[in-house]
Chain A
Amino acid sequence: MLEYVFYILAAISIVCALMMVVSKNPIHSVLFLIATFFSIAGHFVILNAHFLAIVQIIVYTGAIMVLFLYVIMLLNLNKSTESSKPTLVKIAAVVSAGLLFLVMLASFKESVDLKIVDTADGLGSVKNLGKVLFSEYLLPFEASSVLFLSAMAGSVLLAKKK
């Protein structure tokens, strides 16, 4: 039963990612990428990472992609004005991406077998992740607040009219 859920989610992710790359209208690309992110959130759910699934939906599809949508509408790009690259460049891009795919697949195929460890109860729960985050990773957590502050100041500075 669950393997079919995996296959369906994987098919949705791959097809929507491909449609994101090939669709001419940027709005359609954003919507297909949102569908991809939802299917990845579904993968997180069946991998027992419930907290990350919720964060994926809230942060990625709720904040980041809405920001993309806003910028596309703000810049009035919601029609396909993009001129496409020459055919030779397209063929070269497809060949190089396919070669990268093959190389990564071959290198992973020869890697060692990972032993499956008995998963602890509630591995991806908020309780467990919060314990790890606020004990071992407290310093990076605080550093990320500084990162956010600088990102906020930087984006305000960049978007401000001279």
Chain B
Amino acid sequence: MNEITSTIQVVPLEYYIFLSVTLFSIGVLGMLIRRNAIIAFMSIELMLNAVNLLMVAFSAFRGDAKGQVFVFFIMVVAAAEVAIGLAILTMIHHNRGSVDINALNKLKW
């Protein structure tokens, strides 16, 4: 336990906030810059993980286990989301022949 307490005392919470914001922004960048739908989906996973990291950091700094339970639920929902999303992407590839985001313009306008 002494080891863990010193982690919280050595690294300030701001550093974790900075790291999470950076990872989240990289996820947004990947979402905007790529045309492959699978890479965009992976960017969403990266954003979810950035939020998870921030919640675990807050939970550890506040000494409250509820944040970690919420992270557990986020992981559950992410697993279900990935199963559905990849099934949808497989069907899109089956029907349209590509997973390029710009090819999916049926709902545009």
Residue numbers of A with Cβ under 8 A of B are 2-3, 6, 10, 13-14, 17-18, 20-21, 26, 29-30, 33, 36-37, 40, 43-44, 46-49, 51-52, 55-56, 59-60, 63-64, 67-68, 71-72, 74-75, 77, 82-85, 90, 92-94, 96-98, 100-101, 104-105, 108-109, 114, 116-124, 128-129, 132-133, 136-137, 140, 144, 147-148, 150-152, 154-155, 158-159
Contact = CB atoms under 8 A, between A and B. Distances in A.
A97 B19 contact: no
Which secondary structure dominates chain A's binding surface? helix
Contacts, number: 233
Contact of A82 (B7, B9, B100): B100
Nearest to B36: A82
Interface in B4-43: 4-11, 13-19, 21-30, 32-36, 38-39, 41-43
A101 B25 contact: yes
Contacts of A159: 87, 90-91
Contact of A152 (B1, B83, B91): B83
Contacts of B15: 6, 10
Contact of A71 (B19, B33, B52, B89): B89
Nearest to A150: B80
B1 to A, nearest CB: 6
Nearest to A80: B36
B7 A48 contact: yes
A22 to B, nearest CB: 8
Nearest to B49: A40
A127 to B, nearest CB: 10
A21 B26 contact: yes
